[in-house]
Structure formats: structure tokens, C-alpha cells
Structure 1
């Protein structure tokens, strides 16, 4: 199992990170992809990946929340980070019109710069989209055929949005959101639409602890070791053998991030 989205630079992992990583290995995970959400955290993600070679890899990018920081200096630093062998994708980048911590214009400019960088360097893109699907599709479409691949991570959208993303040949990352009876029920119905070679799985730790887990963990912190539960939920929703799902998502993730199986 490969967890394609783990925020290990988050302060909630500061006290016991080594234990979290060891428990992920014991749970059967073969790799964790540490998410870079701004320049500083991308640098931290790279440092972690160097500390745990061949188990941790990372992305480097500027999240839409941090898009206002995407100046020339940030772009230069990002280019340098993306040259490192442990960095496997550009991102997390995209659009988030839900909170607008950066203005929509700043978000769009930062997203386009990172799409252009991914095309230039021929790296996959790890993308975020929230309440911005129509504009997101408009911005991605001109670049998609020039990119090696791209994933909408932590997909939580509608059936129509999923159909549009699949038509663009995007990969789809599914998290423990699918285990949330309050807001993730629709994913149980539409996750079967995703082809085997487009589906990847993730925890987005420390966020999105699967609410349906029993017994319920004492801590609200999500961890990579819970990925098997998310995978089982997805397999059941797809009416698919769990082992087949694991084999397929592993193969897809290895190919997407250019990892050696």
C-alpha cells in the first residue's frame, strides 16, 4: 500500500514521528508520499524523505491557501526542490474557493506557474480543488496533454465533477472522507466509476480520521496506519476484492510517482 498524501510536516506529528512511520510499516504500507504545501514545508518534506530513504518520498509545491507567497523567489526555490530525486511531483497546488485564504486571482496565478513548471520538468502534478471545479477544469485543460500525469487528491466532489476529471484522464485520490456518514456518503456510490488504473488511496493525515472506524481511536489524529481501513471501505463500495484493489492502487501509484516496485 502506498499512502499518496501524508502531511508529516504537521506539528501534530512532532512528538512521535518515528513511531508513526514505524506503525505505518507494520500496517503494510510500502511508501508514504509526504505532501509539500508551501516552500518551507516542502523543504521539510524533502529532509524527511532523505532521512527515510526508499520509504518516504515527497511532493513540492504551493497550496492555494499559500498562493500569495508565490513570488519569483518562491518559484526559484521550488524549481531547486523539484530537481531533487526524492521529490516526485509538483504540488500540492490548485484552487480552493471555499476559504480563499489567498485571493482567487493569486490562486490561479500560482496554479498556472506550477502547471507550467510541471510541463517543463515533465513531473506529475498533485492537485487540490475545493468549490472551484469549473475554473479548475478551465485552467488544467490546456496543460493536460503536456503533463506526464496529474491527480486530484482527496476528491470529495460530485458525480458530474468526477466524470469531468476522468474525461481529462486525471487520477483520483480517495481519503477517509468516504468513511464520513455526514458528508461522504455520495462517494460510496460513485467511487466505482473510477477505473482501476486511475484510483489511488490516501489518508491526508493528520486530517480526515475515518469516522466509521470501530473501535474509534482515542485520538482524532489520522495516521498512515489507518490506510488499510480506508482501502477496505473503498473495495466494499466498489464491490471489488480487497487484494485486487491493493494490487491495482499500488501499481498505479508506483507508475504515477515513478517509484521502483
Structure 2
């Protein structure tokens, strides 16, 4: 009985210590950061797919983004399933138009290539490539090759981003293939050695190491308010110092 009481007491002290440590960390993560980044510039991700999903005129929205809001830094996903609906048949009209309009206004573009790009369902794999992994991998590299060759001389393109948060298990996607990811990055670097490559990772749910070591420029996210089915809207209890600590 005495041993049991000692065990219970030890467990209580351990839990109390953990709770105090957690409270301290939460307080530290949310403590205001005094140093500001005066050079920070705001940009946006524009998804023609999402605009069409919510039934708005994506072209009008893109022009409003440039002219009404004056945005000059834009990330544009190249959706594989929209560009190559049939094997070897490419329709770059949407991407061409966005780059032309951005170029007229000297906007800087991050062009995202790969099978996993921004907006749900995350992975944009054509139907014809979904049921055979070897076909998917081979044709993905061919698709990336085609995209980079088409746009590597486009002045508006400032960076390439290869995949979107590839190390985060999220979306309707095949399992991560690190060898394939490295092949994608290597291919883009070979085809366009003068532009830097961005690799991104989740701000809250990753340690960043695997993505950052493959990138010329590392990108991450910081979500404050999110919505989750069954829970609704809630705020992440972590502030800017959490990200500074990981850095």
C-alpha cells in the first residue's frame, strides 16, 4: 500500500510538472515579439480552380487582385489535372493568361509545380494517372519538364515552388515518395539553374528539417483561426515565438 501511495504521488507530481511546463511554453509562445521585419511584403496565393469552385469569375478576380488591391507578389499553382486532362495534351491557357496579366504590371510570381499544390484536394493528379504509380511518377516528371521549359524564360516568374508541404500528410494524395520529390527538385534545378527553388512545410505540424534542407528558400505557414468538422472555428494556442524557436 505504501508503495502504491508513493507511485500515485509521483504520478501527480509528474503531471503537475508537465502542466506547469505546458503553461510556461504557451505563455512564451504567445509573448509579444518586439522585433519587427520592416522588409516584409505581403503577397497572395491565387487559385483559378478555387474561384471556379465557388462560381466566381476567376479572371475578373485576378485583375481585381492586381489593379484594385495592388498586389505584386502572387503564388500561382499549375494544376496538373487541368493542364493535362489527356496524356500528352496540354492546355496552358489559364496559366499563360495569368502570367501575361501579371507581367504587364511587373508582378512577381511563384509558380508551383508538382502533384500536390495549394487548395483542396491538395493533389491534382489526372484521372488517367491515378491508378498506376509508375505511370503517375513518370508522367509527373514529364509534366514538370514541360512546365519549366515553357516558363523558364518568362520574366514574371521569380521562383519555382516544387510541391506544396510535401512532408505533411494532408489531402487526397498518394503516400510521400521522397525519392520522387528529390527527382522533381533536381529536374527543376537542372532545367532552370538561375532561379531559386522554394520547398514548403507546415508551420504548426512539422519540424521543417526535411523540407528546409532541400530548399533554396524555405516557406511555411502560420494559421491563427481554422475550421474543423465537428469542432467548428478555433484559434491555435501558439504565437509567433513558437515559429522563432523552431527556426
Q: Which band: TM-score by shorter chain?
A: 0.3 to 0.5
TM-score by length of 1: 0.45
